[in-house]
Amino acid sequence: MAEYTVKDIASAIGAVAVGNVDLKLTGVAEPQDASSQDLALAMSEKFAAALPDGAAKVAMLWPDADWQALGLEAAILPDRGRYAMAGVSRVFDPGQGYAPGIHPSAVVDESAVIGGDVTIGALAVIEAGAEIGAGSTIGPQCYVGKDAKLGANAYLRDHVSIGARVIIGDNFLCHAGARIGGDGFSFVTPEKNSVEQARETMGQAESQIAQVWVKIHSLGSVDIGDDVEVGANTTIDRGTIRDTKIGRGTKVDNLVQIGHNVEVGTDCLLCGMVGVAGSSQIGNNVVLGGQTGVGDNLTIGDAVITGAGTMVLANVPKGRFMLGYPAMKLESQVEAYKGLRRLPRLFADVAALKKSILNPSDKD
């Protein structure tokens, strides 16, 4: 079990340490659950109120906190608590415990290029021409396809699949079960199909009964920038002709679907169960809330934010906060919702007015 002094932790995250900074800690905990060996995370007065319920001697608080009045022997006082929490969690993260080196059961093609200090877990498969950057970890039962390239310090948890010719930058983190580089969902019919007709006629044309769907093969691949994280069971399809692209620093949550030819900009957040249909373009610093859906061939501008469950069916200019189905500006959606809630009262008022006009002699 690793031990760190209060001083070491504060130094690692760039925060101020006060009190007995030589105390040693072995973990982190919420205030009510903290032992005497834990750093209690209490970055607001609300959470600090639970400190007496635990046994913490040290807590991470807020800049002007009266740590002595809270009965602590030491404290860490960051400027921005939640940001400091990222550093603390990094210090105490024990990792996944994969054994270093290449496991005897791993299948590594002799033409694959494996960098220095690489770990490859049990039953992993590295195909011909693949390149694994220095310092990378390929977890058990992972698959890296033919001519795929991973940059330095990649970390694939178990059961990750990287398809042929996928290119990924440095410091890539991918969680269990993700599939990157599958075929795009692209099909066409010999004749004009009912979907095309519905779009052209706004649904006025009758649907065809019989259709035969022919696959359009995916000749492109996936290109992922540096410092990208991909969540568990997320899927990113390869492009039809050009590559699907994920920009530097973008973080993708669990169960996200990114379709063929999609381009996602830098430093975006795509939250759980987001779906982006083919050929749409997402700008930089975009945040798509959970279960946001983005239609095909759309453009979302820089710094757009969508609330949970938003359905984007048209282009969105930069800087907008969108909500609802169909997506509207937040203030417009809120006003529409208020109007919807007023409808029962409006109906009652209209009914009463109608009654008074048609039966003026009636009394309430």
Which residues are marked as active site?
260
Instruction: Say if CB 270 and CB 253 are below 8 A apart.
Output: yes
Q: Which string of DSSP letters, residue by residue, matches 63-111?
A: TT--TTTTT-SEEEE-SSHHHHHHHHHHHH-----PPSSB-TT-EE-TT
Distance CA 107, CA 40 (A): 44
Q: Across the chain, what does the average pLDDT equal?
A: 95
Q: Which string of DSSP letters, residue by residue, matches 143-184?
A: EE-TT-EE-TT-EE-TT-EE-TT-EE-SS-EE-TT-EEEEPP
Neighbouring-strand partners of residue 116: none
88 domain residue, yes or no:
yes
195 domain residue, yes or no:
no
35 domain residue, yes or no:
yes
pLDDT given for residue 236 in this prediction: 98
3-state helix vs strand vs coil in the chain, percent to 5: 20, 25, 55
Of the listed ranges 155-159, 212-216, 334-338, the least confidently predicted one is 334-338
User: What total of structural domains would you count in the chain?
Assistant: 1
65 domain residue, yes or no:
yes
Query: Which residue range is the domain that position 27 belongs to?
Result: 4-92
pLDDT given for residue 198 in this prediction: 82
How far are the Cα atoms of 10, 154, 162, 169, 207 from residue 146, in angstroms, in the given order? 45, 17, 9, 17, 42
Distance CA 24, CA 14 (A): 18
Structure confidence by residue, pLDDT tens digits, 112-131: 999 999 999 999 999 999 99
Compute φ and ψ for 115, nearest 5 degrees.
-70, 180
Q: Work out the average pLDDT over 172-192.
A: 95
57 domain residue, yes or no:
yes
Of the listed ranges 40-49, 206-215, 351-360, the least confidently predicted one is 206-215
149 domain residue, yes or no:
no
Question: In the predicted model, is pLDDT for residue 203 greater than 80?
Answer: no
pLDDT given for residue 208 in this prediction: 66
37 domain residue, yes or no:
yes
Instruction: Say if CB 90 and CB 40 are below 8 A apart.
Output: no
64 domain residue, yes or no:
yes
The SS3 assignment for 350 reads helix
- Is pLDDT larger for residue 108 or for residue 196? 108
Nearest alpha-carbon partner for 34 in 21, 49, 50: 50
Q: Work out the average pLDDT over 12-19.
A: 97
pLDDT given for residue 12 in this prediction: 96
pLDDT given for residue 18 in this prediction: 98
Distance CA 223, CA 231 (A): 17
Structure confidence by residue, pLDDT tens digits, 246-274: 999 999 999 999 999 999 999 999 999 99
Structure confidence by residue, pLDDT tens digits, 297-340: 999 999 999 999 999 999 999 999 999 999 999 889 888 888 88
pLDDT given for residue 340 in this prediction: 87
Q: What is the CATH number of the domain that holds 54?
A: 3.40.1390.10
Q: Work out the average pLDDT over 72-96.
A: 96
